[in-house]
Amino acid sequence: MNAGDEPLAFFERAEATFREGAAAGNFERRTYRIAEQPIELVAGPAYDFAATALTHLVSNDAVAPSFRILAWDDASSSKSMPAPPWSTDAYGVRGEIEGFNDDRFRTAYDHGANSLSMIDLERGIALFWMRDAAHAPQPDRATPFRTIFHWWAEANDSLFVHGAAVGSDAGAVLIAGAGGAGKSNTALLSLSEGLFYLGDDYCLVRPDPIPRVFSLYATAKCAAKDFVRFPALESAVAPSTDEPEPKRLLYLAKEFGEQLRDSLPLRAILVPHVTLASDETIAVPTSSADALKALAPSTISQLTGAGAETFHGLAALVRQVPCFRLSLGRDSTKIAGAVRKAIEQANE
Amino acid sequence: MSSYRINSPAVIHQIFETEVVVVNLENGSYYSVEGAGIDIWRLLEQRCGREMIVAAFTRHANGSAETNETQVRAFLDEAVAEGLIVPEADAPSSGTTQPSLALAERIQSNPPRLHKFTDMRDLLLLDPIHELDEAGWPLRNQSLGR
């Protein structure tokens, strides 16, 4: 076999394993409308968490999907995943598998979740395999198939961005920043105060012709110490698991469905900073470079295959919309108002 | 005269008016280049050589030439040490510089600065894989739980 044939050969073997499992088990088939595209998810019974995270995007349109994700695990399947045909030296720093990434295929292993993601861009099919999906780590239950959605977005002139997004009838803001910057709390405080919600961790952004942000996950994660601020969200907390969980996982579609939006025009990028300098939260214009530093490193570091293309896409995005530094004050009840004001300011 | 090249594809960058944002994809570190470092980075982008870059900031510097030279060389050494640029001893400089009083003054009022950020490194698998299951798949690395 030529080296170039290996990705195809392995993809076919893995897909055959999925199909055997699907034929024997009670796999669910659902179609979602994601960033205006019909996407089908065929998943084994242990992937209920994925269906819950994406449930606000379920589509009943009778149209052929433009992209399929096939997801299964060994624990609930009749046949085990074939052994990897690559050596341990083949794993890159983001889990990318050397020799299995080319124009047609992308392949990556997530060492935090023990999961394999693989996409065939030519056929529009992705495979997602875990050893045991019933014990999927919290990040996967909150934001499933991240790597696959990143590859798919890149192939569809969009960006899979590490950031929260909330908005109003006037449009949305993307809230950028690494963990601990105040991104999730800002999004959840905005949700609690009646703003629309598109995501707290990852969103899709289509930059052209006019930047638009698309929701992917109706979920949120919140540090246990911060959760006291959100008594209204108690009913959305996911059942606890036996996995170590540093944060509360929230499934928002059931209780907050009316505030979820599939997409909104992107009006601004906010870079939150916890300053506690005063009670007030204020948004002041900041540089595009500041926004890029908040968006790009955390997006790229967490996504397999994200590199120059993602970086330059984000660099173009931060030049397209106004950017604000959001200095988070002590009075958390005033944060949503500052977000609303920033949207209005961006529209002026 | 030897030149430098930006260490692509591992190193990617974006030049803004007030800052250059640089990311090293291999180790997750990212950088903010400020002050006269922006001018230096533009010259590096053109593959100008070390002496050419030094000259751009010193030729019209009058009394401050020595200080300017120290600043430029220190910045270049730091960028090399961080793996952001690579000296190419055998490659001729392909860029051109325009030594100017403006550059000489800019570096005096706003010296080159390279700020390094390492908060993303924990998200990368920088250690080799130690454990495999029976089929040959890696076992979970708890530190990458995200």
- Per residue in B92-144, pLDDT tens? 666 677 777 888 888 888 999 999 999 887 766 556 666 888 889 988 665 55
Q: Residue A220: name the closest of A206, A240, A193, A238 by CA.
A: A238
CA distances to A333, B63, B130 from A68, in Å: 42, 68, 33
- Band of the pLDDT at A78, cuts 50, 70, 90? confident
Q: Residue A281: name the closest of A267, A293, A270 by CA.
A: A270
CB of B24 closer than 8 Å to CB of B121: no
A286: closest CA of chain B, how far (Å): 11
Residue of A nearest to B139 (CA): A114
pLDDT tens profile B13-58: 999 999 999 999 888 899 999 999 999 999 999 888 888 899 999 8
Chain B contact for A285 (CB, 8 A cutoff): no
A179: closest CA of chain B, how far (Å): 10
- Band of the pLDDT at A79, cuts 50, 70, 90? confident
The per-residue pLDDT for A19 is 94
Alpha-carbon distance of B117 to A114, in angstroms, equals: 28
What do you get for the CA distance between the two ends of chain B, in Å?
47
Per DSSP bridges, beta strands A219-223 and A125-130 are unpaired
Q: Residue A318: name the closest of A343, A295, A342 by CA.
A: A295
**What is the pLDDT of chain A when averaged over all its residues?**
92
H or E element that contains B56: helix B50-58
Alpha-carbon distance of A286 to A202, in angstroms, equals: 22
Contact B125 A94 (CB under 8 A): yes
Contact B137 A114 (CB under 8 A): yes
B120: closest CA of chain A, how far (Å): 6
Q: Residue A236: name the closest of A217, A215, A220 by CA.
A: A220
The per-residue pLDDT for B125 is 57
Q: Which of the pair, B89 or A83, is modelled with greater confidence?
A: A83
The per-residue pLDDT for B123 is 67
Interface test with A, best of B123, B127, B134, B142 (most A CBs within 10 A): B123
Q: What is the DSSP string of A188-247?
A: HHHHHTT-EEEESSEEEEE-SSS-EEE----EEEEEGGGGGG-GGGGGGBPPP-SS--SE
Count the residues in chain B: 146
- Band of the pLDDT at A233, cuts 50, 70, 90? confident
Alpha-carbon distance of A109 to A107, in angstroms, equals: 7
Average pLDDT for A259-288:
94
Interface test with B, best of A301, A303, A314, A323 (most B CBs within 10 A): A301
Alpha-carbon distance of B61 to B104, in angstroms, equals: 5
- Band of the pLDDT at B146, cuts 50, 70, 90? very low
The per-residue pLDDT for B94 is 67
Residues of A in contact with B121 (CB under 8 A): 301
Average pLDDT for A122-130:
97
- Amino acid code (one letter) for A220: A
H or E element that contains B34: strand B30-34
Both tokens of A146, joined, read: 């991240």
Whole-prediction pTM: 0.93
Residues of B in contact with A312 (CB under 8 A): 12, 14
pLDDT tens profile B61-87: 777 888 999 999 999 999 999 999 998
Alpha-carbon distance of B53 to B85, in angstroms, equals: 14
ipTM of this complex: 0.88
Residues 6+ apart with CB under 8 A from A290: A271, A323, A325
